[in-house]
Amino acid sequence: MDKILRIDVSAEGGPKATQMPLGEYAGMGGRGMTSMVIYNEVPPDCHPLGPENKLVIAPGLMAGTAASTSGRISIGCKSPLTGGIKESNSGGQAGQVMARLGYAAIILEGEAPKDSLFKIFIDKDGVTITPADELKGMLNYDLADKMKAEYGEKVAMISIGPAGEMKMSASSIAITDPEFRPSRHAGRGGPGAVMGSKGIKAIILDDKEMKMRKPVDSEKFKAANKLFAQGLKQHPVTGEGLPAFGTNVLTNVVNEAGGLPTYNFKQGRYEDAGKISGETFAELETQRGGKPTHACHRGCAIQCSGIFVDKEGNYVTKQPEYETVWAHGANCGISDPDVIARLDFMDDNIGLDTIDMGAAIGVAMDAGVIEFGDAEGAIKLVEEVGKGTPLGRILGSGAATTARAFGIERAPVVKGQAMPAYDPRAVKGIGVTYATSPMGADHTAGYAVATNILKVGGDVDPLKPEGQIELSRNLQIATAAIDTCGFCLFIAFAILDQEETFGAMLDVVNGMYGLSMTGDDVVDLGKKILTMEREFNKKAGFNATHDRLPRYFKREELAPHNVTFDVSDEDLDQVFNW
């Protein structure tokens, strides 16, 4: 990956593509690339939907290689949801294909002409940008069918649905999986709205005749990659739990721990959790002819995705992720797997972050718009979003906006972004991450659940404040580096527990680039990225008061443990004091 593709959507005569060398961005990829470009080139005080903001699409440093589980892609911008810097991470095929085409980043910049819409086609011969007015308002799955008919199914696509075109703050960017389904999403922070503001409906990537990227030291790379993949297969989480039941393996685990947010974060256990657990979904999929084990991109050793089908065996959606099952399930009091799967498909089709959508519906339920447990009502609310009605636009702007619109305090958000599927009172380490991450409430920014609940990489009591600052700090640093390399975050389970697997991961990177990186270098890389992100947010107006959970988490006890979030503000201010 030796070049950057810039597309100026405000160029005279229509969007103009320019290729250029990496320059100061050499050595960066994934989240490191997106955050560095935003830090260097986007005014922190700009409007997220204005011409000064940029959308940066960057595969990780290891994308397009034979490295196991390395195909994640980062999409960055100034977030219309949080108002701060944002990196949203996704699986799917686009990262691998884009890397084999040689691009370390695609940067969309400028302001599209009013009511214009374009599609971009990129292959070994260059870039073609054409008007796409006929695609206006098209749902992601319909768009995929149309593009497959035009380009075949061996390409990859990055696209937005109607929510992105309507510039909703909870809109996602879809990435196609190996079967060309737009089922993987960069959802957090509303990047779809920024892509919509640039007037780009879809980017088609075709790597035909492009070879896999070759390592500098092929023998070292090959040997390390073998050990790395073996380590992932040997760990009970990455080798057994995730492949068998997907990420939703966590529902029963977190529910038992008393940390599953239920009825808009009112309690920590859901009485019907067993009806929507990963075990239940996998059993249904197997019985109906679906598939509980599937890779969201080629070359993944973990394969935690899956295929959910209806009672007749017809495809409905990807196997819903744990966060989605929680957001539309326990959070809303809905215990029907078929309803949750339908809501997941609707979110993907319209182009919405399932976490913020489920949280927004939970807030609406709390406000009395519909009752908790009203499955048909929840479906109708998502339909409102797809239609762009006034109510739909409120919900499509996320949980924070929904709470303001209906005048209730209980908005489970930090920096405007909805909390995922772990109550911070019962899993205090993730509460520290929610509060302090530059990204807003985001479990993937520093997944303390691994150590708090799953006892991976140590054991820090989830119900006590002691040790949570250090845990979150170390995980936020490590995660920034993993996101830069493009490895799936789930490799953390194995590398935290197995020293030899961590060493193998380092040698995979070293073999690819001819480097001699150590663990200390990984830490330095993570710190560099976090420092840029926090500095951007500071210039955008953020301060220590934004690194806090809503006050009701300190005030309201959470059953069954009857705990509050009692990590002090003074301690929260120490997370980044390294």
Domains located in the chain, CATH noted? 3-205 (3.60.9.10), 216-245+424-578 (1.10.599.10), 259-423 (1.10.569.10)
* Residues linked to residue 107 through DSSP beta bridges, in sequence order: 6, 56
Residue 303's pLDDT is what? Answer: 87
Per-residue model confidence as pLDDT tens digits over 262-290:
999 999 999 999 999 999 999 999 999 99
pLDDT at 363 over 90: yes
Secondary structure letter of residue 56 according to DSSP: E
Task: Tell me which long-range contacts 460-464 makes (C-beta under 8 A, separation of at least 24).
Answer: 460/429, 462/257, 462/259, 462/426, 462/427, 462/428, 462/429, 463/426, 463/428, 463/561, 463/563, 464/428
Residue 301's pLDDT is what? Answer: 87
Residue 309's pLDDT is what? Answer: 96
Per-residue model confidence as pLDDT tens digits over 43-65:
999 999 999 999 999 999 999 99
pLDDT at 300 over 90: no
* DSSP β-ladder status, 85-90 and 173-175: unpaired
Q: Which amino acid, 18? A: T
Non-local (6+) Cβ contacts of 302 within 8 A are 69, 232, 238, 239, 242, 243, 295, 488, 490, 491
Non-local (6+) Cβ contacts of 27 within 8 A are none
Give the separation between CA 203 and CA 214, rounded to whole angstroms: 25
| The CA-based dihedral angle spanning residues 290, 296, 297, 301, taken in that order and rounded to the nearest 10 degrees | -90
For residues 54 and 115, the model is more confident at 54
Give the separation between CA 145 and CA 307, rounded to whole angstroms: 18
List strand residue ranges (DSSP E) for 310-444, in order. 315-318, 413-414, 417-418
pLDDT at 198 over 90: yes
Give the separation between CA 197 and CA 450, rounded to whole angstroms: 37
Residue 553's pLDDT is what? Answer: 98
Non-local (6+) Cβ contacts of 545 within 8 A are none
Non-local (6+) Cβ contacts of 236 within 8 A are none
pLDDT at 169 over 90: yes
* pLDDT over 90, % of the chain: 95
Does residue 465 have a cis bond before it (omega within 30 degrees)? Answer: no
Q: Which helix (DSSP H) or strand (DSSP E) does residue 184 occupy?
A: strand 184-186
Residue 1's pLDDT is what? Answer: 86
For residues 489 and 568, the model is more confident at 568
- Are the C-beta atoms of residues 429 and 448 closer than 8 Å to each other? yes
pLDDT at 40 over 90: yes
pLDDT at 489 over 90: no
pLDDT at 153 over 90: no
Average pLDDT in the 465-482 region? 97
Residue 351's pLDDT is what? Answer: 98
Q: Which helix (DSSP H) or strand (DSSP E) does residue 293 occupy?
A: strand 291-294
Per-residue model confidence as pLDDT tens digits over 202-237:
999 999 999 999 999 999 999 999 999 999 999 999
Give the separation between CA 543 and CA 534, rounded to whole angstroms: 9
CA 134 to chain centre: 29
Comparing C-alpha atoms, which of 326, 574, 577, 323 is closest to residue 465? 574
Residue 298's pLDDT is what? Answer: 84
* pLDDT over 70, % of the chain: 100
Residue 466's pLDDT is what? Answer: 98
Residue 517's pLDDT is what? Answer: 92
CA 192 to chain centre: 12
Question: CA distances (Å), 458 to each of 87, 279, 447, 566, in order?
Answer: 28, 26, 13, 22
Per-residue model confidence as pLDDT tens digits over 426-457:
999 999 999 999 999 999 999 999 999 999 99
Give the separation between CA 158 and CA 121, rounded to whole angstroms: 11
Non-local (6+) Cβ contacts of 153 within 8 A are 179, 180
* Residues linked to residue 163 through DSSP beta bridges, in sequence order: none
Per-residue model confidence as pLDDT tens digits over 386-419:
999 999 999 999 999 999 999 999 999 999 999 9
Per-residue model confidence as pLDDT tens digits over 15-37:
999 999 999 999 999 999 999 99
Give the separation between CA 245 and CA 30, rounded to whole angstroms: 28
Comparing C-alpha atoms, which of 142, 195, 137 is closest to residue 388? 137
**Verdict on whether the full-model pTM lies above 0.85:** yes
Average pLDDT, the chain: 96
- Are the C-beta atoms of residues 295 and 224 closer than 8 Å to each other? no
- Are the C-beta atoms of residues 564 and 558 closer than 8 Å to each other? yes
